[in-house]
Amino acid sequence: MSSPSVSDVGSGMQLILGIVQDEDASAVIEALGQAGFRSTRINTVGGFLRKGNATILVGVANDQLQRALVIIRDNCQTRTEYFVPTAPGEVGEPYPLDPVQVQVGGATVFVLDVERFEQL
């Protein structure tokens, strides 16, 4: 039985938490994998449009951070869609309002310092 790998990495490692549209997630993960990055995909749903997203987690060394961010950026497209908001009616039933044009896609990315890393 092998022992777990434990590393106190201080500021030498970053965790990328990227939120991308479902339509882009597979391309992002494939491109990251081809570049040698390991990633984890968590299926999520956005709060505003209630559409499917993927939250992609990638642990990277500081010197690889920009390379991983470029891969994410290059594989996420922005799109224009129409969103039909609803408002409550007089009897508590929602009714549709005029469609609103919204820009979706791209990526929302958070980069967090990793204090400790364990591979069990």
Residues 6 or more apart whose CB falls under 8 angstroms from that of 8 comprise 115, 116
Neighbours of 59 (CB within 10 A): 19
Residues 33, 120: Cα–Cα separation, whole Å? 21
Q: Is the pLDDT of residue 51 over 60?
A: yes
**CA distances to 7, 28, 59, 69 from 83, in Å:** 46, 25, 34, 29
Write down the pLDDT at residue 77: 84
Average pLDDT value for residue range 5-13: 62
Tell me which of 81 and 64 has the higher pLDDT: 64
Whole-model pTM over 0.85:
no
Average pLDDT value for residue range 67-84: 87
Write down the pLDDT at residue 106: 80
Per-domain residue ranges of the chain: 10-78+105-114
Q: Which fold has domain 10-78+105-114?
A: Alpha-Beta Plaits (3.30.70)
